[in-house]
Amino acid sequence: MFSPSSPHRVDFSKNSWVLFSDPQVGVAGIDEQTAKKDAMDVDIEIYDYAQDARAQIDKQTLGFVKFIIDKKTKVIVGVEIVSEDASSLIGEASLIVANKMTAMDVMSAIHPHPTLTESFGKLAQQIFFKSMMKRG
């Protein structure tokens, strides 16, 4: 039974949802607008499905995966997905946010090719290579 004095609190920063539209929209964690409203210092990185092998095979290249990354901690605080299969992808996005993963954490996981979940690994690689270019 819920009690107002209960020490348990709802953490909406780990919430996820899907809009069953065409294409579908899924969000895990906080979205870009919330991050800006809360004056968070974030990086926004996007992987466009136009370059994705599985999306090309399925002829459904409209969409993207977006990471909202806390610049200070490098933790992915939000994931936005626009895709015909966002509802199937939001589970991994929720795990990324709930476990406070960084792009390096995501990149270290194996994402089979060609699948739409590979987009998480590809976006993480994109972020990694971009950071290497800044160092050089």
Would you please indicate which residues are annotated as catalytic (active-site) residues? 113
Name the residue among 66, 68, 69, 56 with its Cα closest to residue 89.
66
Q: Which helix (H) or strand (E) holds 48?
A: strand 42-48
Q: Which helix (H) or strand (E) holds 126?
A: helix 118-135
Give the DSSP letter string of 64-101.
EEEEEEETTT-BEEEEEEEETTHHHHHHHHHHHHHTT-
Beta bridge partners of 79: 28, 67
